[in-house]
Chains A and B, each alone.
Chain A
Amino acid sequence: MIDKIRVVWYLNQFFGQIGGEDKADIPPQKHEGGIGPAAGAGRLLGDRAEVVGTVICGDTYFGENVDTASEQVVELISTFNPDIVIAGPAFNAGRYGVACGAVAKAVTEKLNIPVVSGMYPENPGVDMYKKYAYMVETTNSAAGMRKSLPAIVKLALKVASGEPMGTPEQEGYMPRGVRVNTFVEERGSKRAVNMLLKKLRGEEFVTEYPMPNFDRVAPNQPVADLSQAKIALVTSGGIVPKHNPDHIESSSASKYGKYDIAEFNTLTEADHETAHGGYDPTYANENPNRVLPVDVLRDMANEGVIGELHRYFYTTVGNGTAVASSKKFAETFSKELLADGVDAVILTST
């Protein structure tokens, strides 16, 4: 006999039948077996799977202590030794959706167990956490519970089976924004010609890459008084101390470096170089100031054009580096720049 798939369900205080808004501040707790929708799903799971436990946390508690709550929930979930975790469905409840998403992220990263959830597409939890869970699209209120539960259970059984997942349309989940390579019958040029023929004839065609809503950043207001400003240098041009001590990749960088230039009035071939793999490094290596203009900024500081040059520069390789990675790097070092009293950054690229 094959062992049953072990399911643990995550619910908020309301669906966990503890109480309404007045109980939203309860910390995580666990119960054997299924409660609420988790109990209702038991029948749908049939003899292939069983709900071995339910973990419940108040939405307010979770929202106010995301990191701690995630850890506590993961800890409780792990005690049941599950094969899969189901969170929600959260419908259009924002705090609950975000909590389900955060649980999905923590469970995926710490326990390496798949997570299935269900939400209304406009729930902020979808956009924030869609890559960590297979989410069924639900209606915007709990009135849709009866329809969404079978869909969630069906998806969960598929995910837990370990078989390769089909496309969102085939399996009934919301696109997670994860791009996966696959081989098809026809080469790209032929697909392009056929797509153009359809477009010219006014027939329906399916683009292979739906354009995202592009993340455009509006420039900040100019610095009012440069002569008082502390300026930092940040580059995606790959300038690093000689021999690239932190091994920043030549393309698709997984990290950034922070290096002290307090002792340098200029950068030279002897002390700095580029790690960037996207251009002929000859000229950047010959004179690294071409990419990271330490020499000019020192002059400007001496002439009083700028207040001072920050003693650290931050650097990474922009070549083929994922936008998500760049965003993560900047989110981290921007805080340091602010803490160090930096007023403005010169961001150089190549």
Chain B
Amino acid sequence: MRLELGNIRIEDVKFGSKTEVKNHTLYVNKEELITLLSEDERLASVSIELAHPGESIRIMPVKDVIEPRVKVDGPGGLFPGFISKLDQVGSGRTHVLKGTAVVTAGQVVGFQEGIIDMTGPGADYTPFAHTHNIVIVADPVEGLKQHAHEAALRNLGLKAATYIGEAGKNVEPDEIKTYEVLPLFENAAKYPNLPKVVYVYMLQSQGLLHDTYYYGIDVKQMVPTLMYPTEVMDGAIISGNCVSACDKNTTYHHLNSPVIYDLMEKHGKEICFLGCVVTNENVTLGDKQRSSNMVAKLVEFLGADGAIISEEGFGNPDADLIMNCVKVEKKGIKTVLVTDEYAGRDGASQSLADADQLANAVVTAGNANEVIYLPPMEKLIGYAQPADIIAGGFDGSLQPDGSITVEIQAITGATNELGYNKMTARGY
């Protein structure tokens, strides 16, 4: 399966009378977009604001972040099962509005949404301080249950990103990158001397608003399955998550799934990248056993020599991570894990909820409990009150001057376990 990604460099985003890309500037017709998004009767109000890197702006509570993309050539469209029909995606050509992001904000649960500061110390921790953001704040109609609110916001973000992505359809990209993985036997035959590597892609599926979707299906209802690496680039996986902001994978992260891109970089040179095993993180022991058995079986079935296994979330999913690792290692296949840590505010506690000596190669995205002071910003998009109850906040987190002292857990994408960031933790 072969996909061309045409990256269109966007250097600024402005409101305009027509949604279009001109000279590396994206113009968004605000009224047209609001009209489109207001069609959802679960939402009482929708407003749109822009936030640029370096501006004194705080966005919270953030639900999801989505990169605008558009299908230019080949079957299907973005976000199959939600926005586009259920065609097989991952081939042809897709254009990307690089440097922009749609950010959805609103108070869904209060606990489980994140903070994005566009400047100051918090900006170092989130990739979305460095994108030109089109922020959509939507409030639900009175009495709407939280899961219905989540579904409405999820859909709204995908819809907005698709609408904006269309602006890149007829624009000449600044660069075109080609990603291709051949069918299994051809792939292995083409690179007979390179070690064969599989990516085990764990998705949050604990339920109760901790859900991820693969081609429209809630992944807690599926068994582990195989995926070509390019499928995510067209939005085969989307986030339906309300969970600690630091290590939930936003839809943006899935579209730019970093292990996939970095394995593709080495594919055909130092490794033979066979593809991905997509799996879940369900809560019952039986589900964990079934899924981890199947992960190990599929990795073996593919004939892999090595596997990278990435986690989403923490605590309960630590058990899935270790089960996947141990079962794959016991088949003689070498693993590297990507996780983050909850070592306490002083960094002195045990970091994971499970451990095994076979997990001897681990990449950590940092300690999510580390406390940070976020100074007041000149402008707030959304609501600041949830700071005291947000995951990572505590009584008194929000000060009268608008400053917030929280664990970095509350910052969107701060300890992303797909390995999107440059942070790590060291033992001192």
Instruction: Determine how close the nearest CB of chain B comes to the CB of A346; give it in whole angstroms.
Output: 18
Closest to A250 in B: B111
A188, B389: Cβ atoms closer than 8 Å: no
B367, A179: Cβ atoms closer than 8 Å: yes
- B355 in complex: contacting residue of A183, A211, A280, A319, CB < 8 Å: A211
Given A322-B342, A324-B350: A181 and B146 interface contact (C-beta under 8 Å)? no
Q: How large is the interface on B (under 10, 10 to 19, 20 to 34, 35 or more residues)?
A: 35 or more
Interfacial chain A residues near B263, Cβ < 8 Å? 193
B41 contacts A by Cβ under 8 Å: no
B351, A186: Cβ atoms closer than 8 Å: no
A196, B334: Cβ atoms closer than 8 Å: yes
A321 and B18 alpha carbons, distance in the complex (Å) = 49
Binary contact readout A189-203 vs B (1 if CB under 8 angstroms, 0 otherwise): 111110111011000
B96 contacts A by Cβ under 8 Å: no
Closest to B362 in A: A209
Binary contact readout B321-363 vs A (1 if CB under 8 angstroms, 0 otherwise): 0000000000000111111011111111111111111011111
Instruction: Determine how close the nearest CB of chain A comes to the CB of B25; give it in whole angstroms.
Output: 28
A66 and B108 alpha carbons, distance in the complex (Å) = 50
B315, A320: Cβ atoms closer than 8 Å: yes
B395, A280: Cβ atoms closer than 8 Å: no
Binary contact readout B362-385 vs A (1 if CB under 8 angstroms, 0 otherwise): 111111111000000000000000
CB contacts under 8 Å to B, within A258-281, are: 276-281
B215 contacts A by Cβ under 8 Å: no
- B427 in complex: contacting residue of A177, A191, A249, A251, CB < 8 Å: A177
A179, B426: Cβ atoms closer than 8 Å: yes
Interfacial chain B residues near A276, Cβ < 8 Å? 111
A279 and B336 alpha carbons, distance in the complex (Å) = 29
B308, A192: Cβ atoms closer than 8 Å: yes
Binary contact readout A207-249 vs B (1 if CB under 8 angstroms, 0 otherwise): 1111111110000000000000000000000000000000101
B360, A188: Cβ atoms closer than 8 Å: no
Interface SS of A by simple majority:
loop
Instruction: Determine how close the nearest CB of chain B comes to the CB of A169; give it in whole angstroms.
Output: 10
Given A209-B339, A252-B392: A278 and B244 interface contact (C-beta under 8 Å)? yes
- B361 in complex: contacting residue of A168, A199, A212, A213, CB < 8 Å: A199
Given A189-B338, A193-B259: A178 and B424 interface contact (C-beta under 8 Å)? no
Closest to A318 in B: B315
Interfacial chain B residues near A192, Cβ < 8 Å? 259, 262, 308, 310, 336-338, 363, 419
Instruction: Determine how close the nearest CB of chain B comes to the CB of A256; give it in whole angstroms.
Output: 14
A-B contact count (CB 8 A): 263
Of B8-16, B164-172, B173-181, B203-211, the one contacting chain A is B203-211
B37 contacts A by Cβ under 8 Å: no
A131 contacts B by Cβ under 8 Å: yes
B301 contacts A by Cβ under 8 Å: no
A310 and B389 alpha carbons, distance in the complex (Å) = 30
Interface SS of B by simple majority:
loop
Closest to A251 in B: B391
B393 contacts A by Cβ under 8 Å: yes
B258 contacts A by Cβ under 8 Å: yes
B191 contacts A by Cβ under 8 Å: no
Interfacial chain A residues near B28, Cβ < 8 Å? none
Closest to B344 in A: A322
A321 and B145 alpha carbons, distance in the complex (Å) = 27
B390 contacts A by Cβ under 8 Å: yes
A348 contacts B by Cβ under 8 Å: no
CB contacts under 8 Å to A, within B21-68, are: none
B355, A212: Cβ atoms closer than 8 Å: yes
A209, B351: Cβ atoms closer than 8 Å: yes
A184 contacts B by Cβ under 8 Å: yes
B300 contacts A by Cβ under 8 Å: no
Interfacial chain A residues near B182, Cβ < 8 Å? none
B259, A280: Cβ atoms closer than 8 Å: no
Instruction: Determine how close the nearest CB of chain B comes to the CB of A115; give it in whole angstroms.
Output: 15
A325 contacts B by Cβ under 8 Å: yes
Interfacial chain B residues near A183, Cβ < 8 Å? 124, 422-424
B428, A282: Cβ atoms closer than 8 Å: no
Closest to A246 in B: B395
B230 contacts A by Cβ under 8 Å: no
B423, A182: Cβ atoms closer than 8 Å: yes
Binary contact readout B64-87 vs A (1 if CB under 8 angstroms, 0 otherwise): 000000000000000000000000
| B residues adjacent to A (C-beta < 8 A) | 109-112, 124, 145-147, 195, 197, 206-210, 242-244, 258-259, 261-263, 265-266, 270-271, 305-308, 310, 314-315, 334-339, 341-357, 359-370, 388-395, 407-409, 416-428
30 contacts between A and B (CB under 8 A): A131-B348, A176-B348, A176-B427, A178-B347, A180-B428, A187-B421, A187-B422, A188-B363, A192-B337, A193-B308, A193-B336, A195-B361, A196-B361, A197-B270, A199-B306, A200-B271, A211-B355, A211-B357, A249-B394, A250-B390, A250-B391, A279-B208, A281-B109, A282-B208, A318-B315, A320-B342, A320-B391, A321-B342, A322-B345, A324-B348
| A residues adjacent to B (C-beta < 8 A) | 131, 165, 167-168, 175-193, 195-197, 199-200, 205, 207-215, 247, 249-252, 254, 276-283, 318-325
Q: List the 8 shortest-distance A-B pairs measured between CB atoms, nearest first.
A: A188-B419, A277-B111, A189-B419, A322-B344, A189-B258, A322-B349, A251-B391, A280-B208
